[in-house]
Structure 1
């Protein structure tokens, strides 16, 4: 598996799984009826640093990295991840996460926050295994198609080295 920066030429390979994942309504808060041009504007926005995971010539997943806030709070990153459903369970999401966490730290971000993680999303286990913690949950904020109203977690992870300079907090070394 190779992970590299996405280009505009990668969007046609991202769009089919983006549409499928958002339409399923079980992990993303975006409107399932989002047209392609709006989805592209969300994912490939000029302020987003977009990555793709490749298996040969096939794009198997994608992620973006960006500041979550602006101005004096711009050191906190935000990211989003999608893995083609045909490639789940093969480590694509974990590899993308490790890559994005490393890039975020290298780019000077001191932490990463996810603003709305559906509490029933299986990726919650991945995020906690990588050192993210749930800061709080907005109860019943998400209308899940199978579970009804479920909470949305706000999750956070520091990207700064732990005291003593052992590198804890960096990708691959969760605190």
Structure 2
């Protein structure tokens, strides 16, 4: 398995990873009906860099890095991650997170902040904590979970230096 910069040619398969996650409505605030074009803009054009994990010539995971704020807050980055259902439980999320931390440092960021980690997504919360992130805030009932209704979201932070 390799992790590399994503290209426009990768996006059709990346969209195949993103769309079911967005449609499920349990981990990302993106609208379930988000279009491929909207997702391309948010996942490929807005970030500073987008990466794919490739196995057997096929993307099995992806993440992006972007500045979390403009100007005086631009030393903190933000990232989003998606792993294919077939690759879950194999440590790919951790590999993507560790790769993203190294890339963030190489890009000059000093910290990473996840603005909106859904509290009921315990696998992600536990993974991010094991990768050095701390919950620094709770946003009460900030996420409209499609199955569970209103649930909390966490702000998670990790100083990279």
Q: TM-score range, shorter-chain basis? A: over 0.9
Give the alignment of 1:51-70 within 5 angstroms: 51-70=51-70
Give the alignment of 1:138-157 within 5 angstroms: 138-157=139-158
2:23–2:33 CA contact under 8 A, matched in 1? yes
Q: TM-score, normalised by structure 2?
A: 0.96
What is the Cα-based RMSD across aligned positions, in Å? 1.0
After the TM superposition, list the runs of 4 or more consecutive aligned residues in structure 1 that deviate by more than 4 angstroms: none
Q: Give the distance between the partners of 1:47 and 1:31, measured in 2 at CA.
A: 19
- The alpha-carbon deviation at position 17 of structure 1 amounts to 1.6
SS in structure 2 opposite 1:127? helix
- The alpha-carbon deviation at position 147 of structure 1 amounts to 2.2
Q: Which residue of 2 aligns with 1:128?
A: 129
Q: Which residue of 2 aligns with 1:79?
A: 79
- The alpha-carbon deviation at position 145 of structure 1 amounts to 2.3
Gaps of 5+ in 2: none
Deviations 1:8-63 (A, max 9, x none): 11101111120000000000000010111011111001543000001120100000
Counting helix residues as a fraction of each chain, which structure ranks higher? 2
Q: Which residue of 2 aligns with 1:108?
A: 108
Q: Give the distance between the partners of 1:154 and 1:46, measured in 2 at CA.
A: 21
Q: Which residue of 2 aligns with 1:18?
A: 18
Gaps of 5+ in 1: 161-175
Q: Which residue of 1 aligns with 2:38?
A: 38
Q: Give the distance between the partners of 1:111 and 1:70, measured in 2 at CA.
A: 14
SS in structure 2 opposite 1:120? coil
Of structures 1 and 2, the larger Rg is shown by 1
Q: Which residue of 1 aligns with 2:88?
A: 88
